[in-house]
Chains A and B, each alone.
Chain A
Amino acid sequence: MGSANLKLSRRQVLGVAAGGVVGAVGFRYLTLQLPGAGQRVASAAGAGGAWASPLGTSAGRAAHLLRRATFGYTAAELDSAASMSYPDLVDMVVNQQAQSLPRVADATDYQAVVRAWYEHMATTPAQFPERMTLFWHGLLTSDYRKAARLPFVVQQNELYRSTGRSDFRTLVNAVTFDPLMIRYLDLEESTAAAPNENYSRELMELFTLGVGNYTETDVREGARAFSGIRTVLVDANGQRIQPPKLKGSTPAAYAQALQQLIAQGATFKGVLARTQHDDGVKTFLGHTGNIDPAQALDIVLSQPACAAHIARMALVQFCTPVPSTSLIDSVATQFRNSNYDIKTLMRAIFTNEAFTSPDAYRSLVRGPADYMVATMRALNSPSLAAMCMRSGAAMDQILYDMPTVAGWPSNQGWVSSGAWLARLNFAAGVIASQRSFPDPVDAVHTQLDGVVGPDTASVFNASQSDGDRWYALLASPEFQLK
């Protein structure tokens, strides 16, 4: 903050408006005063109150949507978004075309893939497809260890990016034949003689229906229907070829041989090996017949519980920590009536009045990846991707390394003494790595809507440098919320 001159940007004016418009008890406002001129950022009201919602303003709604549907924004991106009508902005966001992950030199190097993904999350203009990639990764989970030295992580990551906004039927069919999933939930081991129950169970329990909407018999019969799925390597013409052998090779030579095949257009894909598949009659979720994987998935998707389950998962991540039954029903109905169109699902969430009601403001907690990428974007500093990759563990989120098949916690589940220290220490590390900073007072308005609590205002005002002010901002409770 070099200058003591008081400059009122449009965003600062919005900050005042946000505080001034809402007359509720306990709202916060930001006075437009700068340090160095005997003027201070200030905040009123006591503890325990609600945040003053700026969602009655177009800029407030735009920032709110971008914090949730994307990974945050620079000041310029927010200006552009705030100039659009809210429905147009939702359409623009939802219709963004995905951009592929830039090629990773060694696609079998999981850390290189995750680092590239962090950088892509920070830099791609196709923010919504990227956010959906993270959402599906958190729901249709996996573990990098199962990929061993094969490029399965990047392949699944790209699947969620390319297919994660199409329709859920296409997505769940693709996932069932995705090489990483085939390994992660032991489909690879499942034979007609000894069907493995892992995928059948988690598909219904976690991915589509939820507990209570299937029986243990359905788990066993489903396992029969999903038996025989195997991963093969095919060349650019779809002809099956043999993967290189690790045995008798060095890891480097193996990786090179694999890279060469991939560069020539080879991909891994799941197929149904008929000789390993149980083609007997099964009774699965009330349907009897010679059910194969695609038919089993159709049966799952025909259950009323499916749309509600996905709607609830999406609402908790994107809308409200406690979605009401009527909200879930409303979104689920639109989702199911659209034949599981995922853009319809997300548009239904973003345009629901629950999304922009005053209660919705700062009602979600940014997950660690979300928080770290938003930091990179606020500072326009994608070079922090490696730091993000290293820092996730202490905040309880390592991409492609979930604690369980149910994925990560959400909202208040992210909060613990250790995880919160890790967030603040990430902010400290980020500040230490930066040579210069965007204007921090502007950032209070763009990133925090000018709606700050008394503690943040006080620490911000006591700061002696732009680095200290940015620390106050990035470490603040306000920036952890969306």
Chain B
Amino acid sequence: MITRRDFMVSGITATSVGIIVPPVFAKSVFAATIEDVHNDNVLVILQLGGGNDGLNTVIPHADPAYLQARPTIGIPADKVLPLNAEIGLNPVLPGMKKLFDAGEVAIVQGVGYPNPVYSHFEGLYIWEHADPSMQQTEGWLGKLLASQLDSQGHPLTGCALGQASTPSELLAQNATVSVIDSVPTYQVQGGAGRRVAAPALYKKTPGIYGALFDQALTTAEYGIAALADSQSRYTPSVNYTPQSTVYGSKNSLATSLQLTAEMIVTQPSVKICHVVLGGFDTHQDEDTRQNALLAYVDSAVSAFMQDIANHGMADRVVLMTWSEFGRRVVENGGKGTDHGAAAPIFVVGKPVKGGVFGEQPSLTKTVDSGNLQYNIDFRSVYQTLIRDWLKADPTAVLGASFPELPIIQTA
């Protein structure tokens, strides 16, 4: 198993001098001046944790093998929201359908990589590090932040939102990441004295964690200053409906994406935002559970895109979904599906060139006894977004070149 823990262990080993991360920012810049950032484009990463079932998300409704493989959880053709004669969306995705019809959704079919793994943690590692060989120790977005987006000068360039820990995708030796659960709680609480004392405790911490600790607090200190009046500059223009509840959980994705909109609207230095919705490991009761989760995705992403557009920033924002794997073609005995391989991903936003890209993998000519064969390497999507959207150099991040996809509109 390669876990986040292994990643960090490698991180320590790599430096082996006792200092895990570099010293805190060389520059104490948190103003809106953007020195090294060449454009205003923002990439939002939406992680669907647990392995989203692609076959019940983008449904090959014309293929009889689909309902044969899924006698209880299959969605019949007359229920799907058709995209063309072959495929359609799960009926809980009307917002995504609307965006697709407006030409703002690229659906990339059959995304995966050679020799798929069926472990959550290996799958996560591969996607997070853009490396099926699992040799890389830095996250692909972390590398991008560190090498080309100047996150050390601008601690809000890379943001993990609606969460408490740094996603592995954003972890890299020289990447600074602001991890913000919510703006109201992203404060030093307890009064003026604490606001002085808290950062003062973390300036020159000794020991192997010293630089890491100090960087966390300094990042927070600058982020708090930058966000000080953000709520006077942003009001959500749509209803994100975070209060609806499924399985005892509110739609945390709506809350996270509203925070993402606030960050994008108020912070010019924001380039990469990461949000996550978990629960897609539907070994059982997939019919109800996945539908509930996809409905969250649908309402939250729709609201986010509308909100961004209402704030006049639709031209600046592209969102990409991913999940560590798709699921087995044939359902199991518990109205669920076990771990699988290739799956579709969504790339959403006004700058996107809409449509369906790539082929639906065969449901009958499978790999590893019943799993979908990929036909587009996930790094093709990464490369396209890095070069065509963020206008950065993908080879420095991916270490190799992959065929690009025509999913971003050219100006």
| Bound Cα distance from A354 to B394, whole angstroms | 43
A394 pairs with B164, CB closer than 8 A = yes
Residue in B1, B190, B213, B219 whose beta carbon sits within 8 Å of that of A432 in the complex: B190
Q: Across the interface, do A49 and B213 meet the contact criterion of CB distance under 8 Å?
A: no
- Are B332 and A194 in touch, CB under 8 angstroms? yes
Q: Which residues of B contact A406 (CB under 8 A)?
A: 1, 3, 120-121
A189 touches B190 (CB 8 A): no
Q: Contact check: which of B19, B187, B197, B223 meets A417 at CB < 8 Å?
A: B223
Contact: A321 with B164, CB < 8 Å? no
- When distances are taken between beta carbons in the complex, the residues of chain B under 8 Å from A419 are 164-165, 179, 216
B-chain residues with CB within 8 Å of residue A414 when the two chains form the complex: 165
B19 and A48 within 8 A (CB): yes
Contact B334 A189 (CB under 8 A): yes
In the complex, whether A456 has a CB less than 8 A from a CB of chain B is yes
Question: B284 to A189, Cβ gap below 8 A?
Answer: yes
Q: How far is the CB of A58 from chain B (nearest CB, A)?
A: 23
- Residues of chain B lying within 8 A (CB to CB) of residue A468: 193, 197
A198 to B118, CA, bound (A): 11
A: number of interface residues (CB 8 Å): 79
Q: Is B119 an interface residue (CB 8 A)?
A: yes
Note all chain B residues with C-beta closer than 8 A to A185: 283
Stretch at the interface among A122-130, A242-250, A472-480: A472-480
B356 on the interface (CB 8 Å rule)? no
Q: Which residues of A contact B3 (CB under 8 A)?
A: 406
Contact between B1 and A206 (Cβ–Cβ < 8 Å)?
Answer: yes
In the complex, whether A76 has a CB less than 8 A from a CB of chain B is no
Asked whether, in the complex, the Cβ of B206 is within 8 Å of the Cβ of A189, the reply is no
Residues of B within 8 A of A463 (CB): 197
Contact A186 B197 (CB under 8 A): no
Beta-carbon contact of A189 and B5 below 8 Å: no
- Min CB distance, B259 to chain A, in Å? 11
CB <8 Å contact, B205 and A477: yes
- CB of B8 within 8 A of CB of A411, answer yes
Report the minimum CB–CB distance from A123 to chain B (whole Å).
Answer: 26
- Chain A 423-442 near chain B by CB (<8 Å), digits 1 or 0: 01100110110000000000
Contact of A51 among B13, B20, B206 (CB under 8 A): B206
Interface size bucket, B side? 35 or more
B209 touches A415 (CB 8 A): yes
Query: Is residue B147 within 8 Å, beta carbon to beta carbon, of the partner chain?
Result: no
Main secondary structure of the interface of B (DSSP, over half): loop
- Which A432-482 residues have C-beta < 8 A from chain B? 432, 453-456, 458-459, 462-464, 468, 471-472, 475-477, 480-481
A421 contacts chain B at the CB level, 8 A cutoff: yes
Find out whether the CB atom of B4 lies under 8 angstroms from the CB atom of A413: yes
Asked if B272 is at the interface (CB within 8 A of a chain A CB), the reply is no
| Beta-carbon nearest neighbor of B1 in chain A | A211
Task: Give complex CA distance A374, B171 in Å.
Answer: 29
Give 1 or 0 for each of B189-203: 1 = CB within 8 Å of chain A CB. Answer: 111011001101111
Q: Which A348-398 residues have C-beta < 8 A from chain B? A: 362-363, 365, 393-396
B contact set with A: CB distance below 8 Å: 1-5, 8-9, 11-13, 18-20, 49-50, 118-122, 155, 160, 163-166, 177-181, 185-191, 193-194, 197-198, 200-213, 216-217, 219-220, 223, 247-249, 278, 281, 283-284, 332-334, 336, 338-339, 368-369
Q: Could you list which residues of chain A lie within 8 angstroms of chain B, going by C-beta atoms?
A: 26, 28, 45-51, 145, 185-186, 189-191, 193-198, 201, 205-206, 210-211, 216, 219, 316, 321-322, 362-363, 365, 393-396, 403-406, 409-422, 424-425, 428-429, 431-432, 453-456, 458-459, 462-464, 468, 471-472, 475-477, 480-481
Q: Show 7 residue pairs from A and B whose CB-CB distance is below 8 angstroms, ordered by the A residue.
A: A196-B333, A210-B1, A406-B120, A425-B187, A428-B189, A453-B204, A480-B213
Which 8 A-B pairs have CB atoms at the shortest separation, nearest pair first? A194-B333, A189-B334, A428-B190, A47-B204, A396-B164, A416-B179, A418-B179, A417-B220
